[in-house]
Structure formats: C-alpha cells, structure tokens
Structure 1
Amino acid sequence: MSELVPGQNLPVTATTVVFSVSGVIGEIDLVGLVVGPDLRASDSDGVVFYNQPRAAGVRLEGSRIIVEFGALAAGSTVLCALSGDADATLAPGLTAELQGAPDDSRYTFPLRPIHGETALLCFELYQRSGQWRVRALGQGYRGGLAALLTAHGVDVDDAPEVAPPPAADSPVGSQDPAGPQATESPQIAKSVPPATVALGSDYGAAVARAHVVFEDAARSAAGYVQAEAFAMDRLDRELGELLADPAQRNSPVADRARAAAQQRCDDLVASARSRFDADSAVLMAELAALDPQLPPAMASWASPVWNRAGSPSAGGLRLGELFAPERGELRLPFCVPTPIARPLWVLDAGEPVLSVVTSLVLRLVVAARVPFPGTRATSDGGRVLIDVFDLTGSLAPMTEMLFPLLTAPAITSPESVADRLSVLESSIDLTQMALQAGEIDDIDTRVVLIADLPFGWDVAAMARLLRIADRGSELGWAFVFAGPLDDNDSDPLVSTIADRTMVIPVTEEARAHDPWVGLPWSVSAERIDPAGVQARQIVATLSSHQPRSGVNPNA
C-alpha cells in the first residue's frame, strides 16, 4: 500500500483501478471526469456522476468508480473527485483510495478539508511517456460539484463563478475557498471553450505537456515543503511538551524522548525528500525528452529545433528558467504565451543585459513568424521587421549581429528618432486599413527594441512611442525596453511606459510564484552571446526564410 501526500505522484502498473472513499459520515457522491492534457473536458459526455453513470473507460457502480485504462480515448486524463451535500461542508477524516487490478496495488490519500469545501479533487490518473501514473491532488471547492465542473470546462446550469487560483500564501487544498455554494443537483449543459491560460490548452501536445510538467513539479515541491513543515512543527510541539515539566526537563527519560522526537522528524523529512528527488528525476528526464518537440521560441538553446528556426513557431516564448536551489537540481522552462500582450522591460539591475536582450529578440522574431488572426494567411505568414533605437550604443554587438534581418539601420542619434517613429505610425495606419478592407493575405509584424529610455528622448517622442506601443501591440507587434529603471524617476511618461510592461529583472534575486500552490521560484533569464556562432547561424537561417509580404509597412 502507498499512502500519498498532496502533489505526490507514483506509477500505476494496474490495467483497471477502482476509486472509493472511506470514513464517510453522511451522503457523498463520487465523480469521474475525463479531460484532456489541459485538464479541461472536451464535452459533457466525459463527466461520470449520479446523473450520468458511464463514459468511455469510466463507470460508476454504487459507491465506486471504475477506470479501465485500455478503454479510455488516447490522450485522456481522469480526475477522481467527491462531492458532498451543498448545504454541508465535508469533514476531516476521509480517505480516498485506489485499488488496482490485476496486481492488487493500493493507493490511499488522507483528505483534510478545512476551508468549508463541498467538493474535493482526490486523484489524477494520467499518462507520461506511455506509463500511467497517479497524482494526489486535494484541491477543494466551496462551490461544490458545479464549481469543480465549471473549473474544468463543463458548462453547468446556475453554475457559480470560478474563483481565481490561490494566492501565494493560500494553503494547498483550498483552490476555491470563497466560491458561492452550488445547487444541489447541477445539470450539465454542454462543454465550454477552454479559458485563456499561460502555456496550456491551445499550443499543441508538447506545449501542453510542458505545462503539466511544471504543475507536477509545483505540486511535488509543495508536498515536500508541507511534509518538512509538518515534521518541524511536530518536533517543536513535542520538545515544548518535554520542557513544560521542570522535574523531567533534564532527566534521562527526557533525553531519550528528545532523541526519539528528533529521529521521527529526521525520518519524515528524509522520506519526503526521497520522494521529491525521485519525482524530480522523472520530471527532468521528461523535460529532456520534450525539449526537441517544443517550438523553437520555447525550447532551450541546446535543442536541435533551432536548426529549423526559419519555420513558424506558434505557441509561446521562453523567458528563462525557474529553479529552487534549496529544493534540488530541477530547472523548468519559464514561458509566456504569444503574441505578447504587453511590452517587455529587461531591467538592468546591476548585471549586463546584452545577452538577455539578444536571446529575447531572437526568440520574439521566431515566435512572430506566424499568420496574424483574421488574415487570409499563407503558411509562412508575413515578414518580421526589426526596429532598434539604441542612442547609447549599449546594444551595438547585437545590432551588428542582426544586420541581415534589419530593413533599416538602427537609430543611434536623437535626430533620427522622429523619422523612425513616423515610419512606425504609418505602418500601423496602413496595416489597420488593409485589415479592415480585407485586402491582404498576410501582414508584416515588428519587433521594436528601445534601449536606455529616456536618454536622448524628448517628451513629444516618448508620448508618440507610448501611443505606438499601445496600437502596435494590438497587431501582434512586440516591444522590448532594455536598461535601468530608476524607481525615483519623476518623469511621468517613463513611469507610464514602465507600468505597462512586464519586467524581466536581470538579477539573481528575481523571484516568481507558480499559479497552482504559490511556491516561490528563482528566475534565471535566457541568454545568448550576440557574437557567438549559434546566434549568427540563427540569424542566417531566419534571413534566408524571410517570406515576401503583401504589404510593406515601410512603403
């Protein structure tokens, strides 16, 4: 028997598993939900509960849900959940169980609903590299079954609104602590389209898998952190109880009790660390296998997909890596979906930003080589034009490397800023008119790089730049600002521009929190040497694949 902690996952060798819950007081209902890699249902037929007891590979029999892996559709994941009475919260003392056949394997997961939940996700059954695995979840919903189904893409009559993901300090197992109560018998209406999420539902199987690997890592880390915290809290409590009795405080009995308490703490932490290290090893192996399958803009610089950098690369943009040195060697790709919704600011916080900006610009050029939505697009899309404003010369090595892709020289003097801004404004006007008239097959897009703002920029030029960034972003243009940003700078235009950007700090102290359990991760920005062989080879590949365009924004 294997007892799981939240976030832990283990391989499943059985061909059939039976889901049940013990320790029940009162009425509960079991639910099976067949979802895709993005954890959302493709249609309402994938929900198994008391009003719909059967789906392909999953069926409800009395107080058990039976999952037959061989009968599931390819790529399916099964979520096992329970729902209580909408007017009463679930009580602690429940244990979710999976019984496997024919190997008689057994997995248990103690459930600890403590935030008024009326529905709980217990297990996730999913495939990784052809092997079925089980992961303990423990996520709760105060909105009951209706909230749980809605959160996974199923439209429910009179469904409550789904609360946002937990904040960084929210405990695991309370994903919907504030959601309104569900109706007693939710009626499934139809499947709804997936919500927009970072790296999840719309970018292909490899991208979806990378998203799930990140979630696996976050939950596995949360399990380890929780186990360590529990062990330390228990040790403090036991030592406190021993010290409370002055007569026994320094006795041999107390010494033995303290040693035993310390050993229990050490054993629990060691066991949790061993499970976490094993999970991390599996995840690192999967990331290594996924890297060659990701789009170039999301892959590592070591991936062979960069040999095909001239091909369209829809999906996302890799900004860096996430890691936690105190939790081991696992490093996860830090990606955002494309097109980028707002400008990026590579913040010079004491370290050179040249290699970071070079990495970002090359990846943006690759990621932008896709057709713009709403056009009669060819398979290659339009051109990707690059505009560089570098009045300080800090990015000169990158500009020189990008020369084969530049349609005009970089702006290096304040006198030339206004003319290039006019070109950008004219390009936006012409493109928007052509789109409204439906007269073009493809549109050109742009990557606009501005270094060391506001050096050399007057107020009028910065105001024009702000308008251009707002309008250009609607056309899929990418804007990158690079350089220091003084928090005490009183220039209102610089502050306005900075407030609208996503800041990428180039510093060892950069931190991010995952969206599932809120754990902190260190952020290391992607880098590539603009004078290196690889960067020049990528530029040569991109320039040789630059397609013809139906509209020239510089015309």
Structure 2
Amino acid sequence: MTAELVRGQNHPLDRTRVEVRITAGGPVVAGVTLGDEQGRLQGAEAVAHPGAPRRTGIEVPRQAAAEHRIAVDLDALPEAVHRVSVLLALPTGIGTLTTFGAAAAPSVAVTGLDGTHLADYTVTGLGAESAVVAVELYRRQDAWKVRAVGQGYADGLTAMLRDQGLAQAAELAAEIEQAVGLGHARAVPAPAPAAASRSERPERSAAGPAAAPTAQRPAPAPPTAADDLAASGTGAAGSGTAPKAAGSPASHSPVDYRHPARRSAPAPTGPAPAAPDGPPLPVAGDAAGWSMEERLYNQVWGMFEDLARSVAAYRSASDFAESRLEQELDRALADPRDRLGTAADVARATARDKHATLVTQARAALDRDLGQLAAESEVVEPALPPAFARWDNPVWQGYHVPLERPMALRLGDLHLPEVLDLRIPMLVRLPLERGLWIDSGPDTYDRGGFLPEREYGRRELGSALTDGPPDEAELRRLATETAVAIAARLLAVHPAGEFAVQVIDPGGTAAPALAPLLESGVLAPPLPGAKGVSAVLEGLTRRVDLVQMAVRSRAADALPPDLDTAEQLLIVHDFPHGFDDRALTRLRYLADEGPAVGVHLMMVADRAQAREYGPVLDPLWRSLLRITPVPDAHLADPWVGHAWTYEPPLAPRGSQVVRQVLDRLAQARRAGQS
C-alpha cells in the first residue's frame, strides 16, 4: 500500500534498491546529496548532478526535464552516508519557469524496481523558490526511511548547497548550470523511442511548450473524499500534497530540519531483529555516538523530533479538513433556493462524511507513528543511565557514585495533548549554559496554562495535590520541592566532591523541602536574613573573579587553598525577599559570568513580585530557562513550534529514593575526606 506523505512525515522502506520518480510542471534539474550523520556534505564529490551523474550507489539524469528517474542502491552507499537528499532546481535559460510557484507542484514517488509505489509526496506551498529539497532517505534503526521535506530556497542551488555545509557551493552550482546547458544543447528535439526510460528522453526546445507527463490522463471524475485527501496531504488515499505544518515558517525562509545525530549506528548487541510483518524492533542506543550515553542522548532527541513532526502533520491535515468542511457547507448554503429540502441535506451530509474520512485517515497515520515511538520509549526508558532516568527507574536502586561527569541531565518530561501517555525526557547538556527559573507565581496558571487533565494522581508525582489548580502556598511548596529534586539529581550524577549546592533562604521558609539535603549532610544550613544573602553572594562572586583571573593567566595553581573549586549551584528561594540593590547587582553578575566558571543559578520566585524592580531584572529573567512546579504548556520545540507540556522531575509520592541516593553520596564524600 502506497504511503501518501505530508511535509515532515516519514515512512519505512522495505527494500534498499529503489527509484525516485519525479514529475514537475516544467523542466527541472534533479540531483542528490549524500550527507553524514548531521546531514553535512564532505565535499563536491558528495553531490550527484548532471555534470557528475554517478556516485557510489546513486545515478541521476544528465539533463533538465519534466520527468526524472533517480536510481538508488542504499546498500552500496559508503558507510559514512546517513542521509540521501533529493534536490530539484529550475535551470536558467531552459523553459519559462523561474520559480516553482509559477507551475504545478512537483511530485515525488519512491518506488521499487518493479514500479511498486512505496511513498508519494507532492511538494506544495512553494512560491518564489527556485530550488527545493524534496525528500530524503535516511537510516533509522539499521533500516532506511523516507521523509517528506519540501524545503525551498529562493536563492537557488547555491543557497541549498551552502545550507548543507558545502564550502564551494557557488562553484558547484555554476558547474551544474553549465552541465545542464551543455546537455540541453546536445538534446535532440524529436520524441524518444518507446523503449527509452523517461529520465533519458530528450527535452523539448525552450521555444516549445513545457514538457508534460507522457501518460494519458482520463477525464476528471466527480470529487471524492480521496480527492480531498490529495489536496490536504493527510496521508492515505490522495496524491500527497502537503500544506505547511502548523507553526512552520514561510516557504521562502529556510528551515533547518537537522537534529542531533538521530542516525542509525550498530546496536551493541548486533542489528535489531525484524518484527513479524512490521518494522525492525526498537533497540536502545541505536543512534550515532561514541559511547552508549551519547547514543541514548541522540536517540531521545530523535524521538522528540519525530513526535513533533508526526503531530505537526496530523494537525495540518486536521486543520485542512476543518477548512474544507466550512467551505463546502458555505457553498451548499450559498443559494437560498438550496437551503431547504433534500439536496441541502445531502450536500451537508456529504461534506461531513468527507471531513470524517480526512480526520480518520490523518489519525491513523499519526497512530502508526505513535505506536513506533511508544515501542521505542518502552525499550529506551529502562536503559537510561541515572542522569537521564526518572526517579522511579530501577537504576536508582543500584545507585553508585559515578567516577565521571555525565554529558546531560534530565530536567523533566515533555508531552503533547494528542498523546498523553508518551513522555519524552527533557535532556539538557552539562555543564548548564543557562540558569533555571522555577516559577512559583499563580498568575501564570490563572491565564489558562494549567490544565486539569494532567492526571497528577495517575502519575503519582510529588506530594499530594488538590483536584484543581494549586493555590499560591501550594505552588511555592511545589516549586521548592522541584528545586530540591533537580539539585539532588545534579549532586548524584557528579563524582563525589565535584559539585556543591548553596541556598539563599532569608526567611527560612524552605527548610521542610530542604530536609533531604540537610539531613544527609550534602548541604550546610543556609544563613538567615539579609546577612546570609550578602555572605553567600560575596563568597560566590569572589570565586568567580578568582577563577576567571586564573583561567586568563593560566595560573590555576595560584588559586587560594581555601577556595572550593567544585561546581556550585546557588538556589535562591523566596526572591526578592532580603535583597538590596548591591545584592541584585551581584546576582546579575553571577547569572552572566558564573556558568563559564562553574557557578550556576536556580531561582525559585514569582515573576510578578520580581517586576517590582522594573527593568532591572528583565535581562535576568530572559537569560534563565523557565520551568514550572506543575505541568504547564510553555516550552516550544525548534522545528515546528509546538507548545509542549512540561512535567517537573519529582520523585513518586512516598518514595525515599532521593534520601537514599543522597545518603550514599554523603557516605562517599566522607570516605573521600578521611
């Protein structure tokens, strides 16, 4: 069964020798780029084009034409190739087209050698672009997939090649144009013999009409739900036209579809076994990377991107279905004579049936992708190391103080409303480049950010919560608990003595939440009042100044012996209580200069109260990553701009895992000091 793709959607390939068939509304140049794990080109030899039509495993046509066939042998590609991108460009001086928006949208079909269609995609939404990345074939779990890209470039081939990292993009674009011009001059304007392939048929002269597909088209039939699906690009039964995904930029603004190295690498235990009648079974750590930790990190980021794009395709198709329903209902009721009677009822029923068909097929495509991601999540979650794992992961029961620092840390979970059961770990690289602002103010959630369906009880995270939105006191308590959970995790994933936590709590109101840190001995009791604020800020400011001077002068041995060189996390609770102008200046200094020398900031505060200081604190607020103590949809992904619901990394209700981990860490510290 053919998969009709929309922009951003992917589909597995069940074979490695395929053809990419292209049909356009006029002469186009077809080419292929061979990218590495990040999609970057290693040189001009990584591009197959009319001047160099054959590369290992690839053969492209030598001329511009309205129809092309590209031969691809994925098994023959060099090991370094992880992404095969199919490029289309409008040639200069051949035909009358200067932009893709002036002709019918080009369509791309990935087929088997026997002509079986595996995936179709029509590149819609193009306007002023003269070059486009139509589709890409990429490795995934030791298998290959095809993804509909549809990324256009108004500046043509040069901009496209430069975006893929080719340094000599302008020179290669000129070489391609020259090769296309020479091929066109040699072309014979007579029809090709019937036995010749379409990709080898000579193009008509520039003075004649644009080349058209050779297949005879039947007379148009009345529109059906399948025709509407073709226009919407929802996936199952149309020609595959793809409206822009929700949140995607205008077509003339290049979108970077790359993500951090989600490309297949050999699994530690061999290739993934094939599931019966389905894609290969997921394997933990199948992404690229030098270590298992790096492979798992890249795999999680790939799951994040795949979920974002699958949901974007579903939302785009659903929006189209709603728009089409409104248009057809408006047409049915436009004439007052048709508003009553059987004809009007039939028109309305037909429109609603089409709408239901579109939505059902879009949801089926989404459910297929979600099923694959859910299966992968079930395999990946148990394999995560402590730095990436939830507090309820069994890996914490066998916790041992690490000997090396991790590459990243889990700050919580992310999910989308279309699939509440699938959580994607929110991983941030270490050391932290930005501080954290844990928002304890109720005004954020009063505006609709708090959603009642977030099922706290089912997840059993954190302390007991009320059935409705938490009040101000409860939010403050949860914000402090979230800060402690993150601080405990940071301490636990660093070697003993290489990470320390300090707390500013002028009013002493954070004492109950700080109990696990205080009772284990990994945190000294915070000093109360304004003097405590001043003492902590002065000490950390001195540390930043001394380490900066030591780094600039390359004199690390000259640091005072009493200076703690371990990385520091400063938790500021109940801000701005206890802060004067001098303290604010020092806090801003630590936020700006601290991360580079190992001093990180975590604010637990209500932004509404912080506004009392006016624009002084605006740069501080903007420099920190905002997270919330309750699930809230305020984070956006960099691909399609979804509003992701963030869930804080709290331990299960009643669990003692945080205390147990901190006790083991404290024991290791005491053993190291003895």
TM range (shorter): 0.7 to 0.9
Kept after mapping to 1: 8 A contact 2:32/2:86: yes
Structure with higher Rg: it is 2
Q: Give the Å deviation of 1:272.
A: 0.5
Q: Give the Å deviation of 1:527.
A: 1.8
Show CA shifts across 1:407-437 (max 9, x none).
6432333323323333223322332344332
C-alpha separation in 2, matches of 1:82 and 1:465: 51
Within-5 A mapping of 1:25-424: 25-36=26-37, 38-41=38-41, 45-62=45-62, 63-74=68-79, 76-85=81-90, 88-90=98-100, 91-101=103-113, 104-158=116-170, 177-178=252-253, 204-306=294-396, 307-308=398-399, 310-311=401-402, 312-327=404-419, 329-350=421-442, 351=475, 352-365=478-491, 369=494, 383-403=498-518, 404=520, 406=522, 408-424=524-540
C-alpha separation in 1, matches of 2:257 and 2:314: 30
C-alpha separation in 2, matches of 1:195 and 1:542: 41
CA gap of 1:277–1:463, structure 2 versus 1, over 3 A, is same
3-state secondary structure, aligned to 1:414 = helix
C-alpha separation in 1, matches of 2:261 and 2:505: 32
Kept after mapping to 1: 8 A contact 2:441/2:608: no
3-state secondary structure, aligned to 1:446 = strand
CA gap of 1:277–1:45, structure 2 versus 1, over 3 A, is same
Q: Give the Å deviation of 1:265.
A: 0.8
Amino acid at match of 1:263: D
Q: Give the Å deviation of 1:178.
A: 4.1
3-state secondary structure, aligned to 1:32 = strand
CA gap of 1:233–1:516, structure 2 versus 1, over 3 A, is same
C-alpha separation in 2, matches of 1:195 and 1:467: 36
Kept after mapping to 2: 8 A contact 1:116/1:177: yes
Kept after mapping to 1: 8 A contact 2:129/2:155: yes
2:497 equivalent to 1:485:
no
CA gap of 1:336–1:50, structure 2 versus 1, over 3 A, is farther
Kept after mapping to 1: 8 A contact 2:245/2:315: no
Question: C-alpha root-mean-square deviation of aligned residues, in Å?
Answer: 3.6
CA gap of 1:170–1:141, structure 2 versus 1, over 3 A, is farther
C-alpha separation in 1, matches of 2:354 and 2:367: 20
Kept after mapping to 2: 8 A contact 1:14/1:105: no
Amino acid at match of 2:127: H
Kept after mapping to 1: 8 A contact 2:127/2:251: no
3-state secondary structure, aligned to 2:506 = coil
Amino acid at match of 2:575: L
2:570 equivalent to 1:448:
yes
Kept after mapping to 1: 8 A contact 2:248/2:639: no
C-alpha separation in 2, matches of 1:81 and 1:217: 23
3-state secondary structure, aligned to 1:353 = helix
3-state secondary structure, aligned to 2:70 = strand
C-alpha separation in 2, matches of 1:528 and 1:321: 13
3-state secondary structure, aligned to 1:289 = helix
CA gap of 1:427–1:291, structure 2 versus 1, over 3 A, is same
Paired-residue identity, %: 28
3-state secondary structure, aligned to 2:352 = helix
3-state secondary structure, aligned to 2:640 = coil
C-alpha separation in 2, matches of 1:92 and 1:300: 50
Q: Give the Å deviation of 1:366.
A: 5.1
C-alpha separation in 1, matches of 2:604 and 2:570: 11
CA gap of 1:248–1:526, structure 2 versus 1, over 3 A, is same
* Residue of structure 2 in register with 1:187 after alignment: none
CA gap of 1:261–1:170, structure 2 versus 1, over 3 A, is closer
C-alpha separation in 1, matches of 2:606 and 2:53: 60
CA gap of 1:173–1:148, structure 2 versus 1, over 3 A, is farther
Kept after mapping to 2: 8 A contact 1:56/1:71: yes
C-alpha separation in 2, matches of 1:75 and 1:172: 33
Q: Give the Å deviation of 1:266.
A: 0.1
Instruction: Select 1:462's aligned residue among 579, 584, 592.
Output: 584
3-state secondary structure, aligned to 1:114 = coil
Q: Which moved more, 1:87-96 or 1:399-408?
A: 399-408
Kept after mapping to 2: 8 A contact 1:199/1:337: no
Q: Give the Å deviation of 1:455.
A: 1.0
CA gap of 1:447–1:172, structure 2 versus 1, over 3 A, is closer
C-alpha separation in 2, matches of 1:32 and 1:109: 19
C-alpha separation in 1, matches of 2:669 and 2:653: 20
C-alpha separation in 2, matches of 1:103 and 1:542: 62
C-alpha separation in 1, matches of 2:246 and 2:532: 54
Q: Give the Å deviation of 1:397.
A: 3.6
Q: Which moved more, 1:219-228 or 1:357-366?
A: 357-366
* Residue of structure 2 in register with 1:497 after alignment: 620
CA gap of 1:100–1:324, structure 2 versus 1, over 3 A, is same
Amino acid at match of 1:126: Y
C-alpha separation in 1, matches of 2:245 and 2:257: 22
2:544 equivalent to 1:428:
yes
CA gap of 1:447–1:128, structure 2 versus 1, over 3 A, is same
* Residue of structure 2 in register with 1:521 after alignment: 644
3-state secondary structure, aligned to 1:149 = helix
Amino acid at match of 1:406: V
Greater helix proportion: 2
Amino acid at match of 1:98: V
Kept after mapping to 1: 8 A contact 2:21/2:110: yes
* Residue of structure 2 in register with 1:163 after alignment: none
Q: Which moved more, 1:504-513 or 1:42-51?
A: 42-51
Q: Which moved more, 1:358-367 or 1:382-391?
A: 358-367
* Residue of structure 1 in register with 2:192 after alignment: none
CA gap of 1:293–1:89, structure 2 versus 1, over 3 A, is farther
Kept after mapping to 2: 8 A contact 1:141/1:174: no
Amino acid at match of 1:17: V
CA gap of 1:447–1:214, structure 2 versus 1, over 3 A, is same
C-alpha separation in 2, matches of 1:478 and 1:529: 27
Q: Give the Å deviation of 1:243.
A: 0.6
Kept after mapping to 2: 8 A contact 1:30/1:81: yes
3-state secondary structure, aligned to 2:597 = coil
C-alpha separation in 1, matches of 2:586 and 2:672: 26
Show CA shifts across 1:143-178 (max 9, x none).
33333333333334459xxxxxxxxx9867756624
3-state secondary structure, aligned to 2:594 = helix
Amino acid at match of 2:640: V
* Residue of structure 1 in register with 2:283 after alignment: none
Kept after mapping to 2: 8 A contact 1:298/1:316: yes
Q: Which moved more, 1:305-314 or 1:344-353?
A: 305-314
Amino acid at match of 1:417: V
CA gap of 1:508–1:416, structure 2 versus 1, over 3 A, is closer
* Residue of structure 1 in register with 2:459 after alignment: none
